[in-house]
């Protein structure tokens, strides 16, 4: 969506974009991600201004009895969706694992 395309073949769609537009989409996404991280850190939703990943899910299962803070889980999902959606190099699996663990933690409570 950040590149103005909704096709599955995003590489071929992006190859027809103007260079400035192909450069601008990840830059805008990065600025948005940094704003979300800063705001979530100030609100206390993300500790240290970073999202949680798969290692944090494993630690929560081992040490915290499987409890994951819903605010940090949802904030991490939003940050990851914006990052991946704007062309960032974040992995797709980690956010899905964390979001699934957050939902499971909410259902278990």
pTM for this model (two decimals): 0.70
The CA distance from 23 to 51, in Å, is 25
- Over the stretch 55-96, which tens digit does the pLDDT of each residue have? 778 887 788 777 777 887 788 888 888 888 777 776 667 777
Could you tell me if 26 and 86 are in contact, meaning their C-beta atoms sit under 8 angstroms apart? yes
> What number is the average pLDDT over the span 41-64?
78
Q: What is the DSSP string of 91-105?
A: -SHHHHHHHHHHHHH
pLDDT at 60: 79
Q: Which DSSP symbol is given to 45?
A: S
Tokens standing for residue 52: 């949680």
């Amino acid at each position: 969506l950040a590149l103005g395309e909704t096709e599955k073949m995003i590489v071929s769609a992006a190859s027809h974009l103007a260079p400035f537009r192909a450069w601008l989409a990840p830059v805008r996404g990065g600025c948005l991600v940094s704003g979300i991280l800063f705001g979530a850190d100030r609100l206390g939703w993300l500790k240290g201004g970073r999202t949680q990943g798969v290692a944090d899910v494993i630690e929560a299962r081992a040490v915290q009895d499987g409890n994951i803070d819903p605010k940090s889980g949802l904030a991490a999902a939003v940050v990851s969706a914006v990052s991946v959606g704007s062309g960032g190099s974040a992995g797709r699996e980690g956010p899905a694992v964390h979001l699934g663990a957050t939902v499971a933690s909410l259902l278990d409570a």
